[in-house]
A and B are shown apart, each in its own frame.
Chain A
Amino acid sequence: MKDRVGIIIAVVSGLLFLAALFFQPVTAAWLNLILNWVIVVTAVGLMVSVARLIATHLRHIAVGRRGFLFSMIFIIAFSATLIAGIFMGEENPEYLRWIRAIQVPLETALLGLVALVMMSVATKVFRERGWSFLTLSFGFSALVFLFLNLGFLRLNQDPSLGKVVAVVQGLPMAGARGLLIGIALGALIMGLRMLFGQVVEND
């Protein structure tokens, strides 16, 4: 019965949202109201998630679970950020600069590691996957576009060459269109399944 209640709520919400979207501008106020409900519920859910995250790390510290030092670092960083934001204010330039000075190097370093991993994968892709159409097309296309981005070609000085390069650079758009169409179809099917209650029932 509980599952049916959830399905009924999801289906009714979806139908109301579609109706609010279709019957504009008559239902614009109702659409705004529904979206606000959704946002408030989402924000409450986010708060619950944050509270659960903190509780989980505190429990890890309490029981001395393996890796509890990382939990301690997380709790300390979270507490410091929260306390500093409360007392200094979220618009304080110094506070924002401190946070940025910590977060930017960390995430940049992680992105650098991703770049190295990708480079390593580029060397292994042929050894692991062998000579196939996929690997060969990847290799040659990557070489071509990397070479075009080197800046050695003076496209402004040679219009004909610029047209050729424009055609080559337009090739990825075909793949992007296919990707976007696939995403749209997937979203449509997912929405229909939710409206018919199949997703909730299967979950």
Chain B
Amino acid sequence: MTDQGEPLQICPNCGQENALQSLKCIRCGELLEGLFHFDDYDEQEGVDASGELDNQDTISTVLNSLDENALLNEQNQAASEFPEPAEETQPEPPAWDREQVPDWLERVRQRVKEEESALSQASGGSGAGGRQSEDERAQVDQAFAGMLRRIREQAENERKKNRPSTENLVDENGDPEWLRRIRELHPPTVEESQNLPAKPAVSDELDDDWTEEELQDLLRREIGAQYLEEHRQELNFPLREQPPTEETTLEPAAEPGVPEDFHNIPDDDLEEREKPISLPDNPLESQQVLSDSAGSEMPDPELAVDPQPYFETELSEAPADEPDEEPDEAADAVAVDEAEEEQPEGLEMQEADGETPAIPPILPEGTDETQFGGNSEEAPEPDEDGEKVEPEADGELVEPDANPEAETAEDKNGPEKSADLILRRDQRQRAQTLKNIIEQEGRRSIAVLHEKAPQGKLGRLILVLLLMIGVVTALVLGPAQKLELGVSPMSSAFEKSLGQIKSGEHIMVVLDYQAATSAELESLAKPVFTKLLAQGAKIRLLTSQPADVWLAGGLFDSDFPEEVPKTEFVPGGILGYLALSAGSTPDWGKTPIEKAISGGTDLLDQSGAVLIITDSFDFARVWLEQVAPWKPGLKTLVITTAVNAPVLQPYFASRQLSGYLAGAADHSGQELNQRAWQVGVMIMMVVILLGMISKADADANQREEQRNARE
């Protein structure tokens, strides 16, 4: 029963060629068990009850062919010349076989016996004659097989002609057969199946042996190659706009009737991508494009263009781009153009109403929009004859920012929904993706090592208020009390050295402090200067800081303004002091610094002690290390802030420093408000304790959260 190398069997329902061992048709799922019958028996019994094949005609054709065959005629003639001998060669069948063998088989066996007996008579039992009879038999078999092949081809052609349109094969859900096949090839994902309305499950009876080539043929046959060429750019639209994501790649599968990978020719994609977006020649269509772009939320104008203009533009360009198209496909394009040209009236009416005209889907013949059911995302496609179904202009565009729930509800109303809605949804998804990308700009994409928890300013404000209220209250309430603190060894030594200054002795006071610390230093210096002046000492003020020129006036008590000496400016900072201490007057005359400072290099030699008033530990250190060594017999005293007290201790321990006052608490003779001092110190202690307590509390909360998380 095979005429080629690979045995095939043809489905009686759809005419599809199937493998010989197939039990069902790979196309329509029709049971093929009947084809396993004997050919003659099939022809006698008929293929199926539908009667697609005319059995009588087929049998008669076979008989006529047998009669007309020359070889068979010769064999018949030979059989008549050599009558068949008695039934000697064939053994009797067993009794059990005779009982179970049906009548038709009995007749077949009888006929075979007759033919074999006739052939044996014709051969005459000779060896050459037997070989000839075998050749003749092979020729007869070949001729018979050829006749059967022609008969099958003829029957197949008749089946194809009489085969009902596949679009009419609609299941109980209203889905055509071609749609079910496409859905079978592109099964919806879990996410898509959740989003989309329930679809009829693909029947297990449908085979899954479809190849890409078969699908291409099916698709071209069903919807026409012209339509595919026209929508090629539209189908490639997501690939050009953004990398394929799960949503975008799934969306074309749900596009109307066109699989997302209906072609895999990169050159075609490249040509389509390089093709600029051109507005249609029709001004109404151009206006439609502009209105669609204006109505969209897409920030990218290219994204905002409605894919429908692509469709229209490509329709006009398709014949010119592909001149090798088949005539019927070109006719399809012409038909589409004609259908497009009939739309301007409807467009005018819709634009007059301020609505964006929507191009409804083009449905295949015999298929209405209700067949797209549920998702209504099937393809507008022409019928096999290339004729377009007149589009309905009642499709409503859904705004990009429309409520998804409303859209879902509208999806359920499939018949009222146009295919343009799907394009809008695709646009909106891409716009949302782009919007998310834009929103992510400037944001930190990687975690930082030390994430600072946002802290309110309330705690800081409370601390500041606590400090201010405490100090102010301490200052306001009651009279000031004398601060009675323990006298440090440094302050005792300072007092002792200060007391050793005799009347008329010069005390060189070096100023190096800023206005910010002037209050603290002046409070320490005033009693000292008062005492020095009382002792009859001569004070000489030097400074290398311009600010100290006008700050020096605050060091003295306002009760004795006439005692305030002039402040001399020493240029060069510590280098100037070094030049005055280590240098000597050259033979050729005084240097500029010596001219600026009265006394010149003899300045330090004339002084009995040096009192440094500074808020900089570094200045005191440099003086003690660089300047003081050049005058070993000169006492050095320091008045500084409390911050520098610890650093000056080593110099006092090494006797480089005769004594110092560091901070208000270091001088027994200062006049400070003891209450305010103590309140400030206590607030500092409370602040540190609060930091410890808050940390402990945070750790306790964290442990509790971890414990709760474990539980």
Task: Give A contacts to B, CB under 8 Å.
Answer: 21, 24-25, 28-29, 31-33, 35-36, 38-40, 42-43, 90-91, 93, 95-97, 99-100, 103-104, 106-108, 110-111, 116, 119-120, 122-127, 130-131, 139, 142-143, 146-147, 149-151, 153-156, 162, 165-166, 169-170, 172-173, 175-177, 179-180, 183
Contacts and interface: CB of A to CB of B under 8 A. Distances in A.
A143 B685 contact: yes
B317 to A, nearest CB: 54
Most chain A CB inside 10 Å of its own CB: which residue of B484, B566, B578, B692:
B692
B515 A32 contact: no
A39 B550 contact: no
A21 to B, nearest CB: 7
Contacts of A32: 579, 582-586, 591, 593-594, 601
Nearest to B550: A96
Contacts of A108: 515-516, 518-519
Contacts of A143: 685, 688-689
A147 B576 contact: no
B685 A107 contact: no
A33 B586 contact: yes
Given A29-B587, A142-B685, 18 more contacts: A32-B594, A35-B593, A42-B575, A97-B553, A103-B515, A103-B547, A120-B463, A122-B687, A122-B688, A126-B692, A139-B692, A149-B485, A149-B681, A156-B486, A173-B650, A176-B650, A179-B647, A183-B621
B690 A123 contact: yes
Interface string B505-517: 0000000001111
Given A123-B687, A146-B681, A155-B486, A96 B601 contact: no
A31 B582 contact: yes
Contacts of A142: 684-685, 688
Contacts of B193: none
B551 interface: yes
A123 B463 contact: yes
Contacts of A35: 572, 575-576, 578-579, 582-583, 593
Given A28-B584, A39-B576, A180-B621, A146 B685 contact: yes
Contacts of B575: 35, 38-39, 42
6 contacts: A32-B584, A35-B593, A100-B553, A104-B551, A119-B467, A151-B674
Given A36-B593, A124-B691, A110 B649 contact: no
A96 B549 CA distance: 8
Given A35-B583, A43-B571, A176-B646, A150 B682 contact: yes
B196 interface: no
B483 to A, nearest CB: 6
Interface in B482-523: 483-489, 514-519
Contacts of A125: 691
A149 B685 contact: no
A25 B691 contact: no
B463 A36 contact: no
Nearest to A95: B550
Contact of B646 (A25, A31, A172): A172
B651 to A, nearest CB: 8
Interface string B667-688: 0000000100110011011011
Nearest to B546: A90
Contact of A151 (B484, B571, B689): B484
B583 A29 contact: yes
B665 interface: yes
A116 B31 CA distance: 92
Nearest to A172: B646
Contact of A127 (B593, B650, B694): B694
A36 B591 contact: yes
B464 interface: yes
Contacts of A130: 695
A32 B692 CA distance: 56
Interface of B: 459-460, 463-464, 467, 483-489, 514-519, 547, 549-551, 553-554, 566, 571-573, 575-576, 578-579, 582-587, 591-594, 601, 621, 646-650, 653, 665, 674, 677-678, 681-682, 684-685, 687-692, 694-695, 698
A39 B572 contact: yes
Contacts of A153: 486
Contacts of B681: 146, 149-150
B489 A166 contact: yes
- Give the secondary structure class of A's interface: helix
B483 A151 contact: yes
Contacts of B648: 176
B415 to A, nearest CB: 63
Contacts of B516: 104, 107-108, 110-111
A103 B515 CA distance: 6
Given A28-B584, A36-B579, A146-B685, A151 B678 contact: yes
B646 A104 contact: no
Contact of A120 (B460, B550, B594, B647): B460
A72 to B, nearest CB: 23
A184 to B, nearest CB: 8
B43 to A, nearest CB: 95
A93 B562 CA distance: 12
A143 B649 CA distance: 20
A127 to B, nearest CB: 5
A39 B653 CA distance: 33
Contacts of A21: 582
Nearest to A35: B579
A35 B591 CA distance: 10
A161 B566 CA distance: 46
A103 to B, nearest CB: 4
A147 B685 contact: yes
A150 B678 contact: yes
A91 B550 CA distance: 8
Contacts of B463: 116, 119-120, 123
A100 B554 contact: yes
Top 9 nearest A-B pairs (CB, nearest first) are: A32-B583, A39-B572, A155-B486, A107-B516, A172-B646, A96-B550, A35-B579, A28-B584, A126-B695
B649 A172 contact: yes
Contacts of A146: 681, 684-685, 688
A170 B517 contact: no
A173 B646 contact: yes
A177 to B, nearest CB: 5
A198 B367 CA distance: 90
A125 B129 CA distance: 118
Nearest to A106: B515
Contacts of B566: 91
B687 A119 contact: yes
Contacts of A43: 571-572
Nearest to A157: B486
Nearest to B684: A146
B289 to A, nearest CB: 44
A38 B572 contact: yes
B520 to A, nearest CB: 9
B572 A42 contact: yes
Contacts of A39: 571-572, 575-576, 579, 592-593
Contacts of A103: 515, 547, 550-551
Nearest to B572: A39
Contacts of A177: 650
A183 B625 CA distance: 12
* Residue among B484, B514, B685, B688 with most chain A CB within 10 A: B688
Given A35-B572, A42-B575, A150-B681, A28 B688 contact: no
